[in-house]
Structure formats: C-alpha cells, structure tokens
Structure 1
Amino acid sequence: AATVGLTGPGAVQLLNRLEAAGLVERVAGEDRRRRHPQLTTSGQAMVERVLAVRRSVVETAMAGMSAADRAAAGRAAEAMVLALSGTRMAADRICRLCDERACPDERCPSESALPPQQRMGTACP
C-alpha cells in the first residue's frame, strides 16, 4: 500500500481489480496466512508494453541530444533519484516502475542510497 501511495483497503481494492483483469494472482506465502501478489503472464506482458511505450517516449525526447548530453541527463537523473532515496519505503516507491533489466540493484541509485542492512539484493520491486 505504501509503495503505491494507497491506504490498506485501497491497495486491496486495487489488487482485486488487477486480479479480476487477470494481471495478478495471489500466491500463498511461507506461513500460509499471507498471500502475495504475483504477475500473471498477462500482467508481465502489460508491464512489457508499458516499459516499451516509456522507452519510446524517452527516446523521442532525447533524439536530438548528443551522446554527451544524454550521458549528462543520465547522471542528473541518477543524482535526483539518489537525493530522493534514503529509506526502504522511498526506494520502493521510486523503483516501483523500474525497468529491472536497465537498472539492476547492483547499479540502482535508489538502492545504493540505502544503508547496507536495508538493501534488497534483488531486483527493484
């Protein structure tokens, strides 16, 4: 709920809608009292479409930029993410729409802003 800025009941309603649309399924956790959302094949396909559209928009926006300007924009974006990070909740919120292939945890500026004991060690959520 906190990652997407919703109340607990709001997050449950969102999950119910995503599940009804076939985009997520709830899978049992280790203790059987909890069920965790997991993307379905359709949900993963939707993520891929969203990321492709986002990549296209960014590529269009940067089309007229030189390689040096693109690199500078990347460094500036990383610095902004770093400045906004610092807690697990902030990192999760920033990375919630992360392209995990482009930004794995080992080079994620949001993850690197966290104290070592708070780092995930896995791909952004």
Structure 2
Amino acid sequence: MSDKNDLAEDRTDWAEDRTILANERTFAGWLRTGMAAVAVAIGLRAVFGEFEPTWVAKAVASVFIIAALYVYWAAQASAAKTQKRLSDHHAHAQPNSRMKILAILLAFASAGVGAILWML
C-alpha cells in the first residue's frame, strides 16, 4: 500500500511542477502581449505619420502604452499569487522577485516609449 501512496505523491508533485512551469509560460505570454501593445503604439506613429491633429494619434498610442503597463502589472500579480500557492519539487521556479523586476523594467521601458512618442 505504501508504494501506491508514494506513486500518488510523486504524481501530485509532478503535477505541481507542471503547474509552476505553466504559470511561468503564462507570465511570459502576458509580457509578450504587453510588448505587442507597445509595438502597436509605435506602429501607429509610423502609419499615421503627420496625422492632424497630432494629439489624437498620440492619445490613441498612449492608450496602448497604458494597456501594456496594466498587462505587465496584472501578469506579475497573477503569477506571484499562483506561485505562492505552489511548491516546486523537481522544477526550479523563477523567484517572484525576478518576475517583478522584469515587469518593472518593461513598464519603465514602455513608459519611455510613450514619452518619446509624445515628443515626436
């Protein structure tokens, strides 16, 4: 009977490891979504060029920048919440601090892109 319990515990541990890795993939997917929103903001500048009035195109681009900032924040918060509930066994989970730093760096870079778009 002990062997069956050990195997069941192993399967549970592996399932938890898979969930941790899925959480990291989801986090990365959300970061890609945020960067895509920034790319759309940059693309609007390229597509609309000297659109008049310029503030309209800049405002629309800013909406995409703000969306990217929200996506970064939500991705980090969700990933951290999920990670707190899980324990890694054989998979080595990324620390929450690393995910937070990455989200913060992308947020600052995206805000910088937004500032540059307003200066153009």
Give yes or no for TM over 0.5.
Answer: no
Query: Greater helix share, 1 or 2?
Result: 2
Q: Could you say which structure has the higher strand fraction?
A: 1
TM normalised by structure 2 equals 0.28
Return the structure number with greater relative CO, CA threshold 8 A, min gap 6. 2
| TM-score, normalization by structure 1 | 0.27
